[in-house]
Amino acid sequence: MAKDETKSSAPAALSTEQHAKIRDTLQGGKAERLTNVPFSITVGEAIPETVRLYSLPVSVVEYAPQYRDYEYILVGDEILIVDPRTLRIVAVIEA
């Protein structure tokens, strides 16, 4: 574990427009949609290492640069943006 893991800050919050763009971009993606996950869908919650993360498309990073180097998963009707270094959820977006 990194010494400064507790100091890592979440990226800046997204605007409603950015949420909509991310939702539209990821809707038709190839990520598997998960159900009945063994973790809470809450910002700050860690996800298990066994969950497969998907890279955010370049287009998402273009309009939401604060999410460069972050990944995502789909759980039910929500998109979870995850920091792959800490496996913590940094944003929850309604899909």
Average pLDDT rounded to a whole number, residues 76-91: 95
Enumerate the β-bridge partners of residue 74.
33, 79
Q: How far is CA 90 from the centre of its chain?
A: 6
pLDDT, tens digit, 9 for 90 and up, residues 20-68: 999 999 887 788 999 999 999 999 999 999 999 999 999 999 989 999 9
* pLDDT above 80 (res 12): no
Q: Which of 43, 53, 44 is CA-nearest to residue 5?
A: 44
Cα–Cα distance, 66 to 48 (Å, whole number): 23
Domains of the chain and CATH, by start:
14-94 (3.10.450.160)
pTM equals: 0.84
* pLDDT above 70 (res 90): yes
The pLDDT confidence band at residue 3, using thresholds 50, 70 and 90, is very low
Q: How far is CA 59 from the centre of its chain?
A: 15
Cα–Cα distance, 40 to 69 (Å, whole number): 23
Pairing of strands 33-34, 71-75: parallel
